[in-house]
């Protein structure tokens, strides 16, 4: 006979979703939750909130927009900040794909160069400068720059920041995690990717979050099949995240991409029955799951860009631009 030993009341971190008072306790004991871990969980969560509040990411000083050489081709919003919606097509021609592969390869290269610079002490603004210079050296325009007024060339999202973090004067600290979101406009097409990096010595919980998020991206890509609905992607991602009690962000999603940075096509990373458009060969879009260590809920900083986890627990993200092929998916954002 198997004997279940309940977890000590002050030893384990409670799961993101707690049982109701009269439901069985999450620890595996035979007791109701209200008689087992409920009181200890309340103390733990209050203390955890104080710790997270104390260590939350605070905004730094944002430097002026960087200049792009006049010889470099610009997207339509570079001067005005207002992007066009394009023709609405999400299927690329053979000629468009030649150019798009070049843009995606450039984005992957800039990601590698910038990621190699991640270390304790470097500011996110310095990472922005590295990515900006690398993009321009390749003849590309950094797509985020002045997109709807975004002030920098990449997004840098640290710890509890989910996405759209603005590079600033805050130095990265030992133990942080940071997401670099890099998009390059080259030859009239956009290539979009992002990745989460460990800064110095990072705790095991954060390492697991980053690893599982990368796995979520891989499973989402594996779910791409022509003739299948887009929500197959979200289903695969959500099922994997659920195994770890992680929250899948719902406020932000993948998107169609090509000559337009963001087409109206949306790719949720959780299962959404409404996302039933069929994938077709030649379609291009991003898959970019944002996975939270706790709740999926988010909040927005006063800058109207920086999205953070509502419970201040950490978030990770990985992204590729993909092409739907006759057999599945081709990842476009790789160096060639």
Delineate the domains of the chain, giving CATH numbers in brackets.
Answer: 1-55 (no CATH), 89-331 (3.90.230.10)
Tokens of 234: 């979200």
**pLDDT value for 121:** 98
Using CA atoms, how far residue 17 sits from 12, 26, 121, 244, in Å, is 14, 10, 35, 11
- Sequential DSSP letters for 288-315: --EEESS-S-EEE-TTSS-EEETT---E
In whole numbers, what is the pLDDT of the chain averaged over residues? 93
**pLDDT value for 7:** 44
Least confident of 4-18, 151-165, 167-181: 4-18
User: pLDDT grade, residue 12 (50/70/90)?
Assistant: low
The top-scoring range by mean pLDDT among 25-34, 83-92, 209-218 is 209-218
**19 close to 28: Cβ distance less than 8 angstroms:** no
Asked if the model's pLDDT at residue 3 lies above 70, the reply is no
Residue bearing tokens 């690329």? 92
What mean pLDDT do residues 309-331 have?
97
For residues 111 and 273, give the distance between their C-alpha atoms in angstroms, rounded to a whole number.
Answer: 34
Q: How confident is the model over 82-119, as pLDDT tens digits?
A: 998 776 689 999 999 999 999 999 999 999 999 999 99
User: pLDDT grade, residue 251 (50/70/90)?
Assistant: very high
For residues 153 and 66, give the distance between their C-alpha atoms in angstroms, rounded to a whole number.
Answer: 8
Asked if the model's pLDDT at residue 133 lies above 90, the reply is yes
């Amino acid at each position: 006979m198997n004997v279940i030993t309940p977890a000590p009341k002050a030893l384990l971190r409670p799961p993101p979703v707690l049982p109701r008072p009269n439901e069985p306790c999450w620890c595996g004991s035979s007791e109701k939750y209200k008689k087992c871990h409920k009181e200890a969980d309340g103390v733990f969560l209050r203390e955890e909130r104080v710790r997270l509040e104390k260590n939350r990411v605070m905004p730094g000083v944002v430097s002026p927009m960087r200049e792009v050489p006049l010889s470099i081709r610009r997207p339509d919003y570079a001067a005005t900040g207002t992007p066009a919606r394009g023709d609405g097509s999400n299927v690329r021609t053979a000629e468009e794909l030649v150019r798009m592969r070049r843009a995606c390869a450039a984005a992957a290269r800039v990601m590698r160069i910038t990621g190699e610079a991640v270390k304790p002490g470097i500011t996110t603004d310095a990472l922005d400068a590295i990515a900006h210079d690398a993009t321009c050296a390749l003849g590309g325009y950094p797509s985020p720059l002045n997109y709807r007024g975004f002030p920098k060339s990449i997004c840098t999202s640290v710890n509890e920041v989910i996405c759209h973090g603005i590079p600033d004067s805050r130095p990265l600290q030992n133990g942080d995690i940071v997401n670099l979101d890099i998009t390059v406009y080259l030859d009239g097409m956009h290539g979009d990717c992002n990745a989460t990096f460990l800064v110095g010595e990072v705790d095991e919980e954060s390492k697991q979050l980053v690893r599982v998020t990368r796995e979520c991206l891989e499973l989402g890509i594996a779910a791409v099949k022509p003739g299948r609905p887009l929500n197959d992607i979200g289903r695969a991602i959500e099922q994997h995240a659920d195994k770890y009690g992680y929250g899948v962000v719902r406020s932000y999603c993948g998107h169609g991409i090509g000559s337009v940075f963001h087409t109206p096509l949306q790719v949720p990373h959780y299962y959404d029955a409404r996302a039933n458009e069929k994938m077709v060969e030649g379609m291009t879009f991003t898959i970019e799951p944002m996975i939270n260590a706790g709740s999926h809920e988010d909040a927005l900083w006063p800058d109207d860009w920086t999205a953070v986890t509502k419970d201040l627990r950490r978030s990770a993200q990985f992204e590729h631009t993909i092409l739907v092929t006759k057999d599945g998916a081709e990842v476009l954002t790789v160096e060639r």
